[in-house]
Structure 1
């Protein structure tokens, strides 16, 4: 039976963790560069400006910054302030998560026809997430490891409640969104835009399940520090890519609708 606390096993897991970080980080950088045309079309006014673009761009930029900071901490060869480094990683990563969740809340607000009770429940879930994120930033600890060399995150099991709460609150938002869409389907208006939103809601459910369940399972098991961290960066990248791709798809649908209206005139 594997001793997950054995130093050799922990070192091997850390190596695998760092390799996975670089692969997933490279994937996100490729995603960002190849889809920057969307922001550029808004900047050049080829696409209609909507204020929600700030949430979209905030999610993308925060995730990109978090990845760059992560790369710095695991690739420098001279000692750095690892405490400040980890705070920056968490700050930008959690900001990306909150922007992604905010995009979902806006959909809930629209789908439920601006129902204040439903929207308030979604916002409370969002604020709960933000509070746990802030707590995790305060509790984070990291030190310089001269053998690596690089920063090593300590007490990773302290993120357990934070990871679990993220999964629960995102599921609450998903239920609210899908419930609202099903209501329209039952009312006989489930076509066109609503069908697109429903399909995107199902896609978001898959994204949240794939991205958030693995880190939750491993941090509950608490086998060792690298395994506790292993799937948290992939979670950030999957959630950021998923949320922003869904946003672009809906924006493109709106643009196509505008073109259709113009062509019919």
Structure 2
């Protein structure tokens, strides 16, 4: 019975990765116009966009790598490929958090808040850069199959991301609600846009990371089922974060009120 459950889990995992790649590819293509405007200079490149581009393309590379690992044409080195996929997906989650954190730093423009946010970022990335959390083995039928996972660190990464996003969103909301200079910060509806976009991102990230963390904590007997929603959480957070960046960047270009 347990063997059948594990087999169903593997099949579901493989199909889910194909669906995620299709979803992300569609999202990627329909938003390429923004990337092209930045590349061609039609939209000004500001340094926070580095995190947007890095997270967006790392997530795409991770999904392609995952598809190769679960549906390979020939035998391959699972360890190296899976390590790359794992780091790229986790890094995209970390970069998604940074996208909102950068805007909080910009709104506060306070050295203590900046230091606090930087410390939170460093703490998150100390978990993100952990490697060897997913151990796989090669099988002719299913490619690189997960045989062991370090659920504690993976769950800690997701929980940290949730806490990080919550702290940053609260700081952002507080600053915009009690801004000393309401004309420069809240004019043109920028405050409402920052709060609404940030809240949408936080809710998406919170729900997805909550499900992922709970499965890792509760289901310890099957490594595949335990981490089955880790990649969906990374994908959802990256999509939501990228949409926030594009929305705010478009808003900025239309108003010209943000430095």
TM-score, normalised relative to structure 2: 0.89
Q: Distance in 2 between matches of 1:207 and 1:59?
A: 16
Aligned match of 1:50: 46
Aligned match of 1:210: 207
Q: Distance in 1 between matches of 2:82 and 2:146?
A: 8
Q: Distance in 2 between matches of 1:10 and 1:68?
A: 24
Alignment of structure 1 residues 219-230 onto 2, 5 Å: 219-223=216-220, 224-230=222-228
Q: How many residues align?
A: 252
Residue 234 (str. 1) matches residue 212 (str. 2): no
SS in 1 for 2:178: helix
Instruction: Provide closer, same or farther for how the CA distance between residues 120 and 7 of structure 1 changes in structure 2, counting only shifts above 3 A.
Output: same
Aligned match of 1:254: 252
Kindly state the Cα deviation for residue 245 of structure 1 after the two structures are TM-superposed: 0.6
Aligned match of 2:31: 35
* Residues 121-147 of structure 1, C-alpha deviations (whole Å, 9 max, x = no match): 222111111111222x1444221123x
RMSD (Å) for aligned C-alpha atoms: 2.2
Q: Distance in 2 between matches of 1:52 and 1:162?
A: 23
Aligned match of 2:19: 23
Aligned match of 1:141: 135
Aligned match of 1:176: 171
Alignment of structure 1 residues 99-110 onto 2, 5 Å: 99-110=95-106
Instruction: Provide closer, same or farther for how the CA distance between residues 74 and 186 of structure 1 changes in structure 2, counting only shifts above 3 A.
Output: same
Q: Which moved more, 1:61-70 or 1:17-26?
A: 17-26
Q: Distance in 2 between matches of 1:234 and 1:139?
A: 17
Structure 1: 5+ residue stretches without partners:
261-265
Alignment of structure 1 residues 63-74 onto 2, 5 Å: 63-74=59-70
SS in 2 for 1:184: coil
Instruction: Provide closer, same or farther for how the CA distance between residues 162 and 202 of structure 1 changes in structure 2, counting only shifts above 3 A.
Output: closer
Q: Distance in 2 between matches of 1:187 and 1:48?
A: 25
Kindly state the Cα deviation for residue 210 of structure 1 after the two structures are TM-superposed: 2.2
Note if contact 2:94-2:161 (Cα within 8 Å) is conserved in structure 1.
no
Kindly state the Cα deviation for residue 176 of structure 1 after the two structures are TM-superposed: 2.3
Residue 83 (str. 1) matches residue 79 (str. 2): yes
Note if contact 1:108-1:176 (Cα within 8 Å) is conserved in structure 2.
yes
Q: Distance in 2 between matches of 1:235 and 1:162?
A: 11
* Residues 92-132 of structure 1, C-alpha deviations (whole Å, 9 max, x = no match): 112212222221121111121x1121222222111111111
TM-score, normalised relative to structure 1: 0.87
Instruction: Provide closer, same or farther for how the CA distance between residues 154 and 131 of structure 1 changes in structure 2, counting only shifts above 3 A.
Output: farther
